[in-house]
Structure 1
């Protein structure tokens, strides 16, 4: 039986791949995003909603659907860099953390009794990579909420997927040559030996969302970036 799925931040990257993965199962998928043009380009049913505003949060749930699965895949471009050049970490939390929290606060009234909520965080929360302390704080804060919310909101299940270095438009702001060099460097260091694909993260999100016996779990989909590794022989 088709289920109703809402993917917040579903117009690009992991969010879009996830929406398409649910749609391929035959589910009724709705995405949210800030750009009508991107929603139209996705070919999916969409709602223009900026989760960084109270009006945007209300708009995300305004159609009256009771959702079986909610995926929070809101991106953010702030928070990276060495500690001395970190900039405004408050702005990074305003961009990603607080929109997640406000959607989480609004969601229960619009979910089925046995629904799932899946957050998309980032592998920086679990890996000790130089230049990612701000990202680790931001995504770690979201991941720390998963267990308590899984208990508080039960029988609604709450999980998170924690992606590593994934080839998505998130990297488009980096010059192509620098991006290729970064990807090559990460691929060489990862146990998986390569950069990840958005579709691989989407598969993990669908698996968590649809497995009725998994809750309170943060699942790394990161090629092993969270594993401590010594020099290779």
Structure 2
């Protein structure tokens, strides 16, 4: 029996890399795609079993070329993210928000469209949203709109593409390079304060979210679902 084949887009760091590693540990042949040559090279050094492809997830033609080269794909995981779109609504620059949509929403959509012809009929698509899509956190209206748009794809696509399964994982605070703009000590202090407010009292690691992402991608009973993995952030005020 051939090993299942996975493609993790945005798979060179954070949640994407942790997910690719876990899928590989569980016996899949795992391809990762990213636009950064240095990160692909670093992933090749640290995880030589992962098969790297240089492509921008928002470039439908490039992603279609990658998918065609791979052939039949069982599990597509899209972990594209951007760091823009945060800030008070009165000061939110529309050009910045457009870039945020380009990086995440349009990246997710273009990747799904490109890879769809190669997806196995029993395969799955797993997207990564974020808690901002549902939590009322001041200063997150822009990024909430981006993540809300990603998560809004799930139910209609699950119905339209059946029997291919479509789901999303919606993390909260995760200690990944997404926070790298903050100095190390400032990030640690912020996470300590945030953890005290979270019902779970825990800031997630990339591996925490990878566990859930792999379960969602591989379990054939789950479709049309956004799995909330936010430590309860949506339940409390984080302001």
TM-score category by the smaller chain?
over 0.9
Q: What's the TM-score, normalizing by structure 1?
A: 0.94
- Structure with greater proportional helix content: 2
Partner of 1:26: 27
Partner of 1:187: 195
Q: What's the TM-score, normalizing by structure 2?
A: 0.92
> How many Å separate the matches in 2 of 1:102 and 1:40?
24
Which aligned pairs between 1:8-87 and structure 2 lie closer than 5 A? Answer: 8-42=9-43, 43=47, 44-87=50-93
Q: Would the alpha carbon gap of residues 127 and 73 (structure 1) be closer, same or farther in structure 2, given more than 3 Å must change?
A: same
Secondary structure in 2 matching 1:62? helix
- Give the ranges of 4+ consecutive aligned residues of structure 1 lying more than 6 Å apart after TM superposition: none
Secondary structure in 1 matching 2:153? helix
Secondary structure in 2 matching 1:203? helix
> How many Å separate the matches in 2 of 1:229 and 1:58?
42
> How many Å separate the matches in 1 of 2:200 and 2:191?
13
Cα shift at 1:229:
6.1
Per-residue CA deviation, residues 97-136 of structure 1 (Å, 9 max, x unaligned), is 1111111112221100110000011111121111111111
Secondary structure in 2 matching 1:226? helix
> How many Å separate the matches in 2 of 1:229 and 1:47?
41
Match of 1:101 among 83, 87, 109: 109
Which aligned pairs between 1:85-124 and structure 2 lie closer than 5 A? Answer: 85-87=91-93, 88-124=96-132
Per-residue CA deviation, residues 2-50 of structure 1 (Å, 9 max, x unaligned), is 2100000000000000000000001100000112332232222110001
Secondary structure in 1 matching 2:84? coil
> How many Å separate the matches in 1 of 2:126 and 2:147?
14
* Structure 1: unaligned runs, 5 residues or longer: none
Match of 1:165 among 155, 173, 176: 173
> How many Å separate the matches in 1 of 2:237 and 2:97?
29
Partner of 1:144: 152
Cα shift at 1:60:
2.9
Secondary structure in 2 matching 1:220? strand
> How many Å separate the matches in 1 of 2:80 and 2:65?
15
* Structure 2: unaligned runs, 5 residues or longer: none
Secondary structure in 1 matching 2:117? helix
What root-mean-square deviation, in Å, do the aligned CA atoms of Structure 1 and Structure 2 show?
1.5
Secondary structure in 2 matching 1:5? strand
